Amino acid sequence: MSAIQNVLGYVRMHGVRYTVSHGIEKLAETYLGTYDRQFRRMQPSPGTLAFQEEHQHHIGKISILIPVYRPRPEFLEELLESLLRQTEKNWEACLYHTGNMPENREVLDRYAARDARIHVEHASENEGISGNTNRAYALSEGEWVALCDHDDLLTPDALWLAADVIEKENPDVVYTDEDKVTENGKTHTDAHLKPDFCPDTLCSSNYICHFLVFRRSLWEKTGGERSAFDGSQDHDLVLRLSECTNRISHVRSICYHWRTVGSSASHANLQRCLEASCRATEEHMQKKGFPVQAFPENGVLRLKYQITRELSVEAFVYGGGQSCVQELKQSDWNQLTVTELATSENRWEAYNRAAVQSNADVLLFVDRTIEQIPENMIREMLMYAQREDVGAVTPALTDRRGRILHAGFAYPLNGFAQCRQEGVMIGAGGWHNLLRQAHNVGAVSGACFMIRRDHWIPFDPAYRGGLGAVDWSIRLGQKGFCHVYTPHGAAVCMRSGLLLHGTQRDTEDLEKIQSRFAKQEDPCYHPAFRRERADFHLGRQGQSAEV
């Protein structure tokens, strides 16, 4: 396929606006170094690094497992140098070397002689990335295990920041933010500022990826990495770790640089990697009691959960709207009743009264501004709403041209809450392809959401506008529920105040929610992103130095 055909295909899927803006952003990152300059401004000062070296943690040794198979010797040497620069000193590097490259053997032996914390085993047989990682583990003795690729880089404070979170929060698993670095190691691009632990986001993709640190006992419990999942072996491992513990902490700092080498497994065998991730996710959710069929679709994982029992659904349409009511009745879910709610009553009071009076297993609330409802929308939402850990589920809401009007809210931003990736074409994928895959969000709109009746908590009827749903979502989250966005079964809607466009808000509503939740952090949206819009762009000040 020619370059022109590739570009035209990209435009058809993503839209002209996204193609142009995304292209300019990537060109600026790669050739003008826009993010690279930001990254360098965010680096810890010599004084901060000196402080870290003087203040060591007492969590036990961290064993860094590094399977080595035919990297360029200079990449391997740069990785080892990045380890020697670590401000946290209680670590060991366990490198299992295959590939029969004498120049790599020389590099490894030289560094092992230089520092006793570097342990090397040379082998003639390549057992694949999982097998070689397991062999590296056999060389280790630390209380903590960390995974690292043979041609990537760690920031000098990577281990110190991970140890600091371990000491403060006592987690079982820790992961950090990351970015990419060009092959020559000179330009940083594509900052991946991650959410805190989000189980549905993890099922859709291994957003945790690098840098991963976890207790040795969990390695023993899970049995390490499995060769059957090579290509997505780390995704498989993280899913299995999450089955053992919910004590998973996030270091909100870029600690890992993923070198963009075209020959890496994830670049060269994307389809194979996706298929391995599908199998890992299917196995994971089977263990949790919610069987799922997973398959690659447009470069991401598409998940179809079994609905494990017959669930009755009552849909409430606020303000009537005959077209909305009729389209709901055409749903492919048979156990459905539709009830109209009059606009003479405060919306949030009407929702509360409806929830109390309903006998249905699951409640669906729809505003009359919803114009087009696909017949599979209820089924797609039920896949997630059926679970005991899920609070509210929202489908994508778009305008008639397919541009996002609601994909969950992020907070606290200007106006307190704003739509995530508003205006992006739903097919575009957006930030790390999130719009194409089910994932967790911090809050949902009152325009269209579903929840199990036994998970219901009342809305605060003192709210007059769309922030009432944000308040309700945050309180549900504080009870331990997660909220889910699904792009499948997307509905078309009109613009309304429920969707919180722009930053103008009812003054009393804004004062109320700020007084309650001004210090509340959205677990699904990184605090280093800018506050003007929920568009996943790094703020001017860069990421916080605080952990």
> pLDDT tens-digit profile of 266-287?
555 888 999 999 999 999 999 9
Give the tokens for residue 59: 């969590």
Q: DSSP letters along 404-449, please?
A: EEES-EEEEETTEEEETTTTSBGGG--GGGGGGS-EEESB--TTEE
Task: Read off the pLDDT of residues 316-369 as tens digits, 9 standing for 90 and up.
Answer: 999 977 889 999 999 999 999 999 999 888 999 999 999 999 999 999 999 999
Domain range enclosing 14: 3-31
Do residue 103 and residue 23 come from a single domain? no
pTM over 0.85: yes
For the beta carbon of residue 490, count every other beta carbon within 10 angstroms: 23
SS3 letters across 496-545: CHHHCCCCCCCHHHHHHHHHHHCCCCCCCCCCCECCCCCCCCECCCCCCC
Of 60-69, 182-191, 407-416, least confident by mean pLDDT is: 182-191
462: nearest Cα among 540, 303, 349: 349
Distance CA 264, CA 247 (A): 31
Let me know if residue 546 belongs to a domain: no
- Which single residue is written with the structure tokens 């709610």? 341
Distance in angstroms (rounded) separating the CA atoms of residues 329 and 385: 19
Domain count, the chain: 3
Within this chain, do residues 24 and 59 fall inside the same structural domain, yes or no? no
- Find the angle CA(458)-CA(524)-CA(293) to the nearest 5 degrees: 90
Report yes or no: 370 and 456 within 8 Å, Cβ to Cβ. Answer: no
Are 322 and 412 part of one and the same domain?
yes
327 and 198 within one domain: no
Residue 183 lies in a domain: yes
Residues 221 and 362 in one domain: no
Q: Is residue 268 within 8 Å of 191, Cβ to Cβ?
A: no
Residue 289 lies in a domain: no
How far is it, in rounded angstroms, from Cα 391 to Cα 450?
8
237 and 174 inside one domain:
yes
List of long-range contacts for 419-425, beta carbons under 8 Å, 24+ apart: 419/499, 419/500, 419/501, 419/534, 420/485, 420/525, 420/534, 420/536, 421/534, 421/535, 421/536, 422/501, 422/533, 422/534, 422/535, 423/17, 424/15, 424/18, 425/14, 425/15, 425/17, 425/18, 425/401
Q: Above 90 in pLDDT, residue 6?
A: no
Q: How far is residue 512's CA from residue 10's CA, in Å, rounded to a whole number?
A: 44
Q: Is residue 230 located within the same domain as residue 341?
A: no
Cα 348 to Cα 496: distance, rounded to the nearest angstrom: 16
Phi, psi of 302 (to 5 degrees): -105, 125
- Regarding whether 380 and 246 lie in a shared domain, the answer is no
Q: Do 365 and 510 sit in the same domain of this protein?
A: yes
Mean pLDDT confidence for 94-104: 97
What CA–CA distance (Å, rounded) separates 479 from 455? 10
Round to whole Å and give the CA distance between 40 and 35.
Answer: 9
Are the beta carbons of 527 and 511 closer than 8 angstroms? no
Q: 186-238 pLDDT, tens per residue?
A: 889 999 999 999 999 999 999 999 999 999 999 999 999 999 999 999 999 99
Q: What is the mean pLDDT of residues 469-491?
A: 97
26 and 45 belong to one structural domain? no
Tokens of 240: 């299995």
Q: What is the pLDDT of residue 36?
A: 84
**Which DSSP state fits 229?**
G
Are 166 and 174 in contact by the 8 Å Cβ rule? The answer is yes
| 53 and 174 both lie in a single domain | yes
Q: Rounded distance, CA 423 to CA 462, Å?
A: 30
